[in-house]
Amino acid sequence: MPDRMKTISSAKSHGGVQGVYSHASDACSCEMTFAAFVPPQAREKPCPVVWYLSGLTCTHANVMDKGEYRRMAAELGLIVVCPDTSPRGADVPDEADNWQFGCGAGFYVDATQAPYATNYRMYSYVTEELPALIAREFPADMTRQAIFGHSMGGHGALTIALKNPERFKSCSAFAPIVQPSTAGWSRPAFEKYLGADEGSWRGYDATLLIEDGHRFPELFVDQGTSDGFLKDGLRPWLLEAGCAKAGIPLTLRMQDGYDHSYFFISTFMDDHLRWHAHRLSDPALGTGPR
Alpha carbon 245 to chain centroid distance?
A: 25
Radius of gyration of the chain (CA): 18
- Active-site residue among 25, 54, 86, 151? 151
What's the CA gap between 278 and 290, in Å, rounded?
Answer: 7
Q: Is 3 a catalytic residue?
A: no
Alpha carbon 119 to chain centroid distance?
A: 18
Q: Is 151 a catalytic residue?
A: yes
**What single letter denotes the amino acid at residue 5?**
M
Q: How far apart are the first and last CA of the chain?
A: 39
At 192, which helix (H) or strand (E)?
Answer: helix 187-194
What's the CA gap between 190 and 152, in Å, rounded?
Answer: 12
What's the CA gap between 48 and 71, in Å, rounded?
Answer: 16
What's the CA gap between 127 and 251, in Å, rounded?
Answer: 25
- Active-site residue among 84, 94, 110, 227? 227
What's the CA gap between 151 and 139, in Å, rounded?
Answer: 29
- Active-site residue among 23, 60, 150, 260? 260
Q: What is the DSSP letter of 200?
A: G
What's the CA gap between 196 and 113, in Å, rounded?
Answer: 10
What strand order describes the sheet that includes 219-224? Answer: 6-13, 16-25, 30-38, 79-83, 47-53, 140-150, 168-174, 219-224, 250-255
At 51, which helix (H) or strand (E)?
Answer: strand 47-53
Which positions are catalytic? 151, 227, 260
